Amino acid sequence: MLDPSSQTDANQRIILITGPSGAGRSTAINTFEDMGFETIDNLPLTLLPRLLDGPPAKRPMALGIDVRNRDFSTNALVDMIGELSESQGVSLEVLFLDCRLDVLMRRYSETRRRHPLAPEETPKTGIEREFDLLVPIRARSNVLIDTSEMTPHDLRAEIGRQFGGTTGQRLAVTVQSFSYKRGIPRGVDMIFDVRFLRNPYWKAELRRLNGQDKAVADYVSTDKRFPAFFEKVSDLSKMLLPAYMDEGKAHFSIGFGCTGGQHRSVTLAIALARDLAQAGWLVSVRHRELERGGLVQPQQAE
């Protein structure tokens, strides 16, 4: 848990939270407040410079900004992000909460709320308008979290993993597994296709198991192509992570995909997460398909 009485460094730490309406910004704001951040939601952009005048605050700040702000402008927000990123005395991170169109439509249908950009039209119209407005801002984000398949509890846990550390390590790493049948996860920075490795699915005794099981991990890792592949992926990751940290990136996501997201990708994700954690990186592990089946909970790499 973050110590609210201290900053991670001499700079004023600021996290701007944005994304489409309904993606979970209120949950995120409440989570940061519980973690000891000073939080303000729907802050007018014109007030942000005045908020930062004077000496740095004793606590880091989390600021929620979206299209409902009375002076919201895509260009103005992009310019503000650029100015703050280059400002001395400020350590800026932009958290973009993303979500699929169909999920946002379902959420609006369940709550029967009107979309702020289409009060007299269908929610779909407003959501599509908002997506268009947010494209440049999404591109400037440091951390992207796709909440399409997350509960509020899941989102709180993910924010805690990525922003709740006190170690001074400014780059959080997520390693995740997924199935190509269900598409590539959003927000992944580097992806490896591991379908070239032999598939435990075709072994009757391994089919119902997954990459968390030793028998499956042993089967995958004894593929003659595994050692060289893993060594190269590990070396590449350890070369790139410091470079991205130097560029100010706050989060880096690495994905492994296979056919079903149960065996090979899970094995590789666990192996790389363990390897990076042993090298001193702050790493969390996610298994998208196993989580959907209730077979695993996201956990910190040991």
Q: How far apart are CA 71 and CA 204, in angstroms?
A: 61
* pTM of the predicted structure, to 2 decimals: 0.60
Tokens of 22: 């309904």
pLDDT at 216: 97
Tokens of 64: 């929620």
- Any residues with CB less than 8 A from the CB of 39 and at least 6 apart, and which? 29, 30, 32, 33, 61, 62, 63, 64
Beta pairing, strands 61-64 & 38-41: parallel
pLDDT at 166: 46
Residue 38, helix vs strand vs coil: strand
pLDDT at 248: 64
Say how many C-beta atoms besides its own lie within 10 A of residue 192's C-beta: 19
Tokens of 3: 């110590």
pLDDT at 27: 92
pLDDT at 113: 76
**C-beta separation of 290 from 216 below 8 A:** no
From first to last of its 302 residues, what are the pLDDT tens digits of the chain?
334 334 445 578 899 999 998 899 999 998 898 888 899 988 888 788 778 776 667 788 999 988 776 667 888 888 888 888 877 778 889 999 999 999 998 888 777 677 877 777 888 888 898 899 899 988 888 889 999 988 888 888 888 878 875 444 457 889 999 999 999 987 799 999 999 999 999 999 999 999 999 999 999 999 999 999 999 999 999 999 998 877 767 788 999 999 999 999 999 999 999 999 999 888 888 899 998 877 764 454 44
Instruction: Collect contacts of 274-281 with beta carbons under 8 A, ≥24 apart.
Output: 274/301, 274/302, 275/234, 276/173, 276/175, 276/234, 276/237, 276/238, 276/241, 276/301, 277/301, 277/302, 279/238, 281/169, 281/171, 281/173, 281/241
pLDDT at 259: 96
